[in-house]
Structure 1
C-alpha cells in the first residue's frame, strides 16, 4: 500500500507515462487495516480529485477525531497545485467522515452528486448479543456535490465507529427503529445511543444486506441506474453476495426507492451455488464502461473479466431497470450463449424491458514484464 497519491504525465496515443512520478497527496499513514485508496476524477468539477481513505481496523476509535483524516472521503484541487503535495489530514474539501471503508465512489452524471458504497463492521454485538449475521447493513451513501450545488449532508458524519445501519431489525435487541436507520452498539460511550445516532449522523440513502461487501459503483450515462459489484462475505455462517446488482435512479440524481427499502438492488449476475463461496466462485470487484456502453466486471478470485451486453451485443448503458428470467440470476449456460470458462459457467440470459442480454466471461492473464 502507498501512503501517498502519485501522478505521472501520460501519453494516451503511446499508452505510456512520460515523466517521473510526483506527489499529489501525502500522509495517508498506517500501513495496515483497510489499505484501499480509491481515486476518482470529477467530470462536473474539472481538476477535483476524490480520495477515499478507510479505517485502520474493524472498530477504529481514532476515526472519532475528524482531524486524523482517517475514514474520510475528501476532494483535492489538483489543477492549481504548487510544488508541494497536499497533506491528507489537514487539506482538501471534506465530503464525509465516519466512513469505515468506502471502496466504491462515483459521481452522478446528471446531478454531479457524489455517492459511495460502504463496507460496514464485522462481529458486532449489542446488549451482549452477537448480531453479526444480518447486521449492520452495507450502505450506499450520498455526499453532496463538487459543482457548487448546496447539500446539507456534505462534510457530515456517517456514524462509524459508534453508529451503524440496521438491516434486519428483528435481530437487534431493544431496537425500535426501521431498516436504514442507525443504531448504537453501546460499549464505547454512555452518551452514544440510538437517538443520537439517528439525529446527529447521516443515514445511508440505500441499505444492502450485511456482509455483501460492495466494492465498486458505476452509473450509466443518463443517470438512471447505478451498477454495484458485491464482492461477498467472508465472516458469515451462510455466504452472501458474490454478485452484480443494479439500483434504479430517477435520472435526476436520487434512487427511486425510499431509504428504508429492503429491495433496492436487483441482482443481475450471481453464483449458482453460494455454498462454494468464497473459495470456488467468482467475486466481483471492479466495473468499467467502454465506448459502446458495455459493462466490464472483474473477478479477483477467478482471474476473469465479465462483459455485460444485450443479446444483440449492444451495450447496456441505457438500461435503468431489469428483471431476471429466474428468481435468482446465476451465470449458467442457456440457449446459444457462449461456452463456459474453465472456472465458472459463462453466461446468463436476463430481461431488460423488451430486451434481453448475455453476460460473458473471459479468462484474463496478467503478465509482469521485466
Structure 2
C-alpha cells in the first residue's frame, strides 16, 4: 500500500475558539482541580474526583458509568442522576478488584463485562440494573508485561458481536522483533468471545491479525453507523534521521482505519502499518526528504533495514495524523457518526508540552472530511488553561464514552477525575 500522497488537501478546519469556561454548576461535594477551556458550543462539569488512576471507561445499558482504575485497582460503578443541567454521581462502588489496568468494554447486549490488564482479558457476567458482577473468566491470555507498554486496549464489535479486539504494544521504543507477526506485539488481534469462554485464547498463537506494524495502540472503537474499526496510536520517541535530532515535531501520532469486521471482503485486514522500520511524518520540512507529505512514511535512524522504497510503497499509513508526542489514548464516535472525539494524554518527549486535550475530527459517510495530509483536522473541545503546567499540574485525558443523551464522559488519570462534556 502506498502512503496516499496523491490525496488532495482537505477542506479548511472549522473555526473553534477556546474560551475559559464560565462558572459552572457543580455536583455537591465535588470540586475539580482545574478549570478547562472549552471549544465553542461546549461546556463541562466535574462528575467525580478522588478516583485511583482512572483509565478507560464505558457507559452501561442502564446509563451507569464503569471505570477501569489503573494499577490493577479494579472496576468502579458510578450510578448517575441528573441534577439541573448537569449530571452527578448518586453512588460510587467497586464492583471488581484487581482485574484491570486499562481496558474495559461491554458486550452488545450489555450482559458481559470485559476488562484487560497487562497479562489477560477477563470476562464477567454483568447486571446493569444491580451492578452485580459474576466470577471472572480469562478469555485471552499470554500478554504478560514485557517492557515499555503494559496497556491492552480492547473493543467489542457490535457489527460482529462475537468478536473482541485486543491491542498489544511494543516492548520498547524500537522493538526490532516486531518486524514479524510471530512477535505478537505492536498489533491488533481479533478473537472469538464464545470460543474464549470455552478455552482461553493465547495472544501469541491464537486469534486473527487485524493490523500490525502499529507501535502502541491505546484506543480503538467501531463507527456506530458504518461499522468501520478505528485506532489511535502513540508513535516513536527520540527520533533521529542521519544523526540529526528531529523528535520535537516528528513522527506524527495517527488515527488508522481497519475496515468493517463483518464485511464479506475487508481489504484492510492484516495490513502492515510500518513500525518499527517506517514512521509517519508530521513536519515533513523538518524531516528533509524531498516529496514527503504529512503522514508519509520514512525510515529513521536505529530501526531495522528495509528496501529503499518499502516505506513509501509497501506499508499502510494512517487516515489522519496529529502533532508529535500528543499521545492519543482513546477515540469515540457520537451517535450519528458525524464526528470522532479523541483524548490526547500528552507526552514527556516534547518541550514545550503538547497534548493534554480533547478534540473533534469531523466525519462524513464513514470517513474523515479532511485529507490524509491535513494538519487542520482537529477542532478544539476541551483543553487545559495552562498547558505549560503539564504534565504535573493539569488534567490528562485518557478514556472517553458517550451516554444515550449524548454526554461525553472523560477520565483524567493523574488527577483522579471524571469530566462530562455537554454539546458533543
TM-score normalized by the length of structure 1: 0.80
Which residue among 129, 133, 146 is the counterpart of 2:244?
A: 129
C-alpha spacing 1:30/1:130, structure 2 compared with 1 (3 Å):
same
1:36 maps to 151
The partner residue of 1:224 within 338, 342, 352 is: 338
Tell me the alpha carbon deviations over residues 221-276 of structure 1, each in whole angstroms, 9 at most, x when there is no partner. 111100000111211111011110000000x2111111000111111111122111
Distance 2:317 2:244 in 1: 23
Q: Quick one: distance in 2 between partners of 1:49 and 1:279? A: 35
Which one of the candidate residues 179, 190, 196 is aligned to 2:310?
196
Cα deviation, 1:172-213, whole Å, max 9, x if unaligned, reads 1334311111111144444344x2101111011000010110
Residue of structure 1 equivalent to 2:359 = 245
1:74 CA drift (Å): 1.0
Of the candidates 178, 195, 208, which is equivalent to residue 322 of structure 2? 208
Question: Using a 3 Å threshold, how does the CA distance of structure 1 residues 175 and 184 change in structure 2: closer, same or farther?
Answer: farther
Question: Residue deviations 1:59-114, cap 9 Å, x none?
Answer: 11111110221111111111244632111122212110011111010101122111
Picking from 179, 182, 185, the partner of 2:300 is 185
Q: Does structure 1 residue 282 correspond to structure 2 residue 365? A: no
Q: Deviations over 1:135-194 (max 9, x none)?
A: 00000001112112433221110111110000001111334311111111144444344x
1:166 is aligned, of 254, 269, 281, to 281
**Alignment CA distance shift 1:297-1:234 (3 Å):** same
1:1-370 residue pairs with structure 2 within 5 A? 1-18=117-134, 20-81=135-196, 83-193=198-308, 195-250=309-364, 252-310=365-423, 316=424
Unaligned runs of 5+ in 1: 311-315, 317-370
Q: Output the CA distance in 2 between the equivalents of 1:217 and 1:293.
A: 15
Structure 2: runs of 5+ lacking an equivalent: 1-116
Computed over aligned residues only, the root mean square deviation of the Cα atoms, in angstroms, reads 1.5
CA contact (8 A) 2:356 2:384 kept: yes
Which secondary structure state, in structure 1, belongs to the residue aligned with residue 210 of structure 2? strand
Q: 1-side partners of 2:236 and 2:412: how far apart?
A: 23
Query: How many aligned residue pairs are there?
Result: 308
Change (3 A) 1:82 1:243: closer
Name the stretch that deviates more: 295-304 or 82-91. 82-91
SS of residue paired to 2:155:
strand
Residues 15-44 of structure 1 deviation map (CA, whole Å, 9 limit, x = unaligned): 1212x3222011113443211111111011
Q: 1:67 to 1:239 in 2, by over 3 A?
A: same
- Matched residue SS, 2:380: strand
Instruction: Name the CA shift for 1:191/1:146 in 2 (closer, same or farther; >3 Å).
Output: closer
Q: Matches of 2:195 and 2:236 in 1, distance apart?
A: 37
Q: Which stretch has the larger CA shift, 134-143 or 262-271?
A: 262-271
Contact (CA 8 Å) 1:217, 1:228: kept in 2 or not?
yes
**How big is each residue's C-alpha offset from its partner over 1:98-137, in whole Å with a ceiling of 9 and x where there is no partner?**
1111101010112211100000010010011010000000
What SS does the corresponding residue of 1:267 show, helix, strand or coil? strand
* Pairwise CA distance, 1:298: 1.3
Structure 1 residue 13, shift from structure 2 partner: 2.5
**SS of aligned partner of 1:142:** strand
Q: Give the match's secondary structure for 2:313.
A: helix
Q: Is the 8 A contact 1:126 1:173 kept in 2?
A: no
TM-score normalised to the size of structure 2? 0.70
Local SS of the residue matching 2:388 = helix
Residue in 2 aligned with 1:347? none
